[in-house]
Amino acid sequence: MIDARLQVALGGDGLVIPEEGRIAVFRPPVEADLHGLRPDRCDIIHDFKPAFVAWEGRGYDAVQTPQGPYAAAIVCLPRAKAEARHLIAQACAVTDGIVVIDGQKTDGADSMLKAMKARVSVQGPVSKAHGKLFWITEPAAEFFADWETPPAQTEGGFWTAPGVFSADGVDLASALLVDALPDKLGARVADLGAGWGFLSAHVLTRPEVEEAHLVEAGYMALECARRNVSDARAVFHWEDAVHWESKARVDTVVMNPPFHVGRASEPQIGQAFVAAAARVLSTQGDLWMVANRHLPYEAELKKRFAQVEETGGDARFKLFHASRPLRSRRRA
C-alpha cells in the first residue's frame, strides 16, 4: 500500500514534499492513510463517486479533475495501462514541482518505472508491500504529453475513454441484454451503472420512454455517455447506483452491474444493485438484467422480487427478468 512506501520515502529515502503550495493526489485507495500530508493542502482527484464522497468525509477537498497549478502531485496507479499513463501526463501538466508515482506490482508499477526512466530522470524507487514508489523532481509535462488520452470514438462510433468499462467497444453482455429487451419499457426507465451509455442509447429508441435516467459512479464514463446519448429525454446522474434515490418510481430498470472493484470477483456489488433496483421500481415495475453466469444473484433476486425468471443467455452470461418488487412491511 502507498501508506508504507510513502512513509519510508518521506522518512529518509530522499523524497521531500514542498512545505508550501497545494498537493494533488490522483486516485488514492479509500483505505489509504496519507499520514504526513495535511488534508487542508491536498486535492484528492477521484472520478469514482463512492471514493470521492469517502475522501470528502475524511476532511479532504475532493475534485473530479485537477485544478492546478500544484506544488507536488502523487499518482496512485490504476490497473489500466492507458489510464495510468493518462493520469501521469495530467499530473505532470498541472504540477510545477515533484511528481510521485506509486503502485502495486500487479498494477504495472515495474513496467511504468521502466517506461518513465526511458524519458526522464527518476528518483527511488522505494520497494515495499509488493509495490513501488518513485518520483521525478523536474517539470516534465513536455515529456509525457503524448500519454494524455482524452475521450475518443471507437470503430462503432461510441465515445469511450481509458479506464472506462468496455473502453474498446461494446460489451458482449450488454449487447446480449439489448437484444432481449421488450419493445415496451414504460415511461420512466433507469439504467443503473450506465457506463458510457450503450444500454440507454437503445432504451431511447422506444418512443414511449419519456425519461431515461443514466446512473453512473464513474465521472469520465458519464461524460462519455453525455456524448453518446444526446436525446433530450436522457437524465444524467453522477451517483453510486446502490444509493441513488429517484424522485419518482421508475417503470423499468436495465442493468449490467459491475462485480469487482479490484481484481477479485465481488458478487455483493451486483447483489446491492438488485436491491437498489427493487427500491426505485414501481410496485408493478420490471428489472432486466445480465450477469456473468458464475455469479450468484438468484437468491437476491428472489428475495427482492415476486417473480423471477432466467430468460436466456449463453455459456458466459445469463439474462434475468424480475418483476413486482417486494416492499418491506413496516412494523406497527
pLDDT digits (tens, 9 = 90+) for 22-55: 999 999 999 898 988 899 999 999 999 999 999 9
Q: Report the run of H or E that residue 273 belongs to, with start and end.
A: helix 267-280
d(CA 18, CA 117): 23
Q: Are strands 188-192 and 211-216 parallel, antiparallel or unpaired?
A: parallel
Specify the pLDDT at position 331.
38
Residue 150: asked if its preceding bond is cis (omega within 30°), the reply is: no
% residues pLDDT > 70 (the chain): 96
pLDDT tens string 126-143? 999 999 999 999 999 999
Residue 6: how many other CB atoms lie within 10 Å? 25
* Model confidence pLDDT, tens digit, residues 212-251: 999 999 999 999 999 999 999 999 999 999 999 999 999 9
Write down the pLDDT at residue 267.
82
**Residue of 220, 217, 213, 250 lying closest to 235 (CA atoms):** 213
